[in-house]
Chains A and B, each alone.
Chain A
C-alpha cells in the first residue's frame, strides 16, 4: 500500500510522504506538524485570513523564495492588489519567473487555475478567491494531483466553516511580531490550534 501514490494512511503517513513530495515551509514549528514536513505537492492548501496583509503571503514567502532559488516559475492568479515588485525582489523572489494572471471574471479564474495547476509541474500556483463551489474546488484538487503542483488557495476567514476538499486548511492572523496559525484540517495528522510563528521580517518595524 505504501508504494501506491495517492494513498494515505492516517497518522502513519508522516513517514510515507517522502521529502521529495513536499517543500519545507521555512517555519520550523509548522514543518514539525505537517505530514511530509512541508507544503506537499499534488494537493490543495487553503489559507484563510481576515484581510490581505494578515500574514497569508508572509506564511508562504519562505517556500516561494526557495522555489525561486531553483528557477521555478511562480504563478499568481487573481491577487487582490498589485504585488509590489521591489518588495518581492527584496524578499528574494526572481521576478522574471513570476507569472501574474488577472482574469476579468470569476469563471476565468477557475479556468486559469485549473490550467495552471495541471501544467505547472512541481511548481506553486497561488490563487486568490472568494466563494467557490465545492465541485470547483474538487476539480482544482484533481488538477493539482494531475500536475503534481503546489496549489495554494487564499480565501477570506469566513469560509472556515465551509467544507472543502483541500488536503490542508489553516487560518493565519498577525499578532505583533508573530503569525498565529490554526490548522483546521490536515490529511494524515491532527488539527492544531494557536501555533505561533515568529516573523522576523515584521520585527524590523517593532
Chain B
C-alpha cells in the first residue's frame, strides 16, 4: 500500500522561504526551449499571470513581474530532506518528481490504521508550511498520479483502482506535452480512454514507456522503487531573508529545523546529546549557540523548549543572514519503559535541572558534597547535582558557613554580646598543601539567641566568625 505526498507549489514556497518577495513574482523553467512560467505567487496570479505562459507573454502582460529562474538543486535537496523526515513513518520512502512515495503497509499497525497514519502525517507535515496532497493506492504510480492531480483518495484494493484512475485527466499526469497533444488528437482526454485502447497499437504509436507506466499504475507491471537512505550526520540550514538582529525572527526557521531533526531522530531511532546553532552574519564571525542535554534524548518538546530558552539569552553582534543547525552526539536510543513513578519524578528533576542551567548557567545550578578534610574550607565541594559521594562522620558543624570567615572584634566578646559556650576544639592541619591552619574553634551564643561558630587564629591571635548554627 503506497501513500504519496505531492508538493504542489514547492518551487514558489521554497523561494518565498529563503528570499524577500513583495511584488508579483514568477518562476520560469528555461530547460525545455522556450522559457515558460511554472509557478506564480498570489499577486502575479491576480494580474492574470498563469503557469504555462511563455515568459514573453507574461512580461507583456505585467512588465513589473519579478522573475526567478527555477532552482532544481534547491528543490531536490528539499525533497530529499522531506524524504528523510518521512522516514519516521516507514523505512521505505522514495522520491518521484515532486512527490514522496511511502510504502506504508507495514506501518499501519503501529499508527492504528491508514486514516490515523494520514492524520498524523498531515498534521506533522503542515508545520513546514508547504502545500501538499496525500493519496493512497495499491501501486506507487497510481498514488503519485492521484496525489499529483489533487485527488485525495484512499484506495486499498486493486479492483477499484482502474475505475478511480479512469477519471484522471491526461493533462494532470505530468507527461510530455507533445504526447498529450497527440492523444488528444485521437479523442483521449481521460486515463480510461487509454486503458480501453489495444495494447500493441498503443505501445507502437505512443512508446513502450507510456504503456509501461500505465501497466504499473494499474498493477500489472512491477514497479520497483529505491528507498532514500538517511545521511550519517544531521545538519540543517536556513536563510534569514530579512536580515535582522531580532531573535524573534529565528523562531519559525529554528522550529522547522528542529522538526526536521525530530523526523531524522525518529527515522534513525537515535537520540541527541548536544546540538549547535550557528548564526551567520555578513561581516562578523558566526555566533555559536550550544545546547546540551543531560542525557541522550528524542523528546521533541524538551529539545524545542531548551533551544528556545537558550536563544532567548543570546546576544548577536550583527544582523543574521542565515542559520545552521548541527546535531552532535547522536546515539541509538533503546526503547525504554517509563512506568515506575519514582523514576519518572527523577526524570522530571533532570528536566528541571536542564532547564534551570540553560538559563542561569551551569555554575548557578549545583549540588554539594562533603570531603574528608578537617579544615572547614576544604570540607566541601561544589558538584553537579545528583553526585553521590561517600560521607565522612564528624563533630557537630554549623549548618551555615560563611564563604570567607568574617573578622570578629574582641570587644564583642569582652562586652558579653557573645558568650562562649563550648570549646576550644583545636584544628591544626593542612601543612602539607600550603593551606595550613592553626585555630581554636568555639561555639558562641549571641544575645539574640543565635549560635555562632567562631575561632581564634593561633598565629596572629585574631578572632573570626566562620558560620552560624541553624
Contact = CB atoms under 8 A, between A and B. Distances in A.
Contacts of B365: 99-101
B388 to A, nearest CB: 4
A120 B349 CA distance: 7
B interface: dominant SS = mixed
A128 B388 CA distance: 25
Contacts of A82: 380, 400-403
A123 B367 CA distance: 16
Nearest to A109: B360
Contacts of B346: 73
Interface in B356-389: 356, 359-360, 364-370, 376, 379-382, 385-389
B93 to A, nearest CB: 38
Interface stretch (A15-23, A46-54, A129-137, A158-166): A46-54
Given A111-B359, A119-B351, A85 B385 contact: no
Interface in A66-109: 71, 73, 80-91, 95-104, 108
A interface: dominant SS = mixed
A53 B400 contact: yes
A202 B422 CA distance: 12
22 contacts: A54-B448, A54-B449, A56-B470, A80-B400, A81-B403, A82-B380, A85-B379, A86-B379, A95-B369, A96-B369, A96-B386, A100-B382, A101-B360, A102-B366, A104-B360, A104-B364, A108-B359, A112-B359, A119-B355, A176-B449, A202-B469, A205-B451
Given A84-B400, A90-B396, A108 B367 contact: no
Interface residues of B, number: 54
A108 B365 CA distance: 12
B403 A103 contact: no
B405 to A, nearest CB: 12
A121 interface: yes
Contacts of A120: 348-349, 352
A179 B303 CA distance: 47
A52 B468 contact: yes
A116 interface: yes
B345 interface: yes
Contact of A87 (B352, B367, B398): B398
A113 B262 CA distance: 30
Interface string B65-87: 00000000000000000000000
Contact of A103 (B364, B367, B369, B370): B364
B443 interface: yes
Nearest to B351: A119
B369 A84 contact: no
B394 interface: yes
- Considering residues A51, A61, A102, A122, which has the most beta carbons from chain B within 10 angstroms of its beta carbon? A102
B393 A108 contact: no
Interface in A12-66: 50-58, 61
Nearest to B352: A119
A115 interface: yes
A1 interface: no
B238 interface: no
Interface string A171-194: 001111000000000000000000
B401 A84 contact: yes
A175 B446 CA distance: 11
A204 B396 contact: yes
* Nearest 8 CB-CB pairings of A with B: A53-B468, A174-B449, A57-B470, A84-B401, A119-B352, A87-B397, A96-B388, A85-B380
A100 B357 CA distance: 11
Contacts, number: 159
A84 B449 contact: no
Interface in B442-470: 443, 445, 448-452, 467-470
Given A89-B391, A99-B385, A115-B356, A53 B451 contact: yes
A206 interface: yes
B421 interface: yes
- Chain A interface residue number, banded: 35 or more
Interface of A: 50-58, 61, 71, 73, 80-91, 95-104, 108, 111-112, 115-116, 119-123, 173-176, 202, 204-206
A81 B403 CA distance: 7
A114 B467 CA distance: 30
Contacts of A54: 448-450
A50 to B, nearest CB: 7
A88 B469 CA distance: 11
B360 A108 contact: yes
A90 B393 contact: yes
B467 to A, nearest CB: 6
Contacts of B351: 119
Given A87-B396, A205-B443, 11 more contacts: A50-B448, A53-B470, A54-B450, A73-B349, A85-B369, A87-B470, A95-B369, A99-B349, A99-B385, A119-B349, A176-B449
B433 interface: no
Contacts of A104: 360, 364
Given A86-B370, A108-B359, A58 B470 contact: yes
B226 interface: no
A56 B382 CA distance: 24
A176 B445 CA distance: 9
A205 B376 contact: no
Contacts of A176: 449
A202 B396 contact: no
Given A53-B470, A101-B365, A115-B355, A86 B400 contact: no
Contact of B367 (A90, A96, A115, A173): A96
B117 to A, nearest CB: 34
A206 B392 CA distance: 26
- Considering residues A86, A119, A173, A176, which has the most beta carbons from chain B within 10 angstroms of its beta carbon? A86
- Considering residues B368, B376, B421, which has the most beta carbons from chain A within 10 angstroms of its beta carbon? B368
Nearest to A108: B360
B46 interface: no
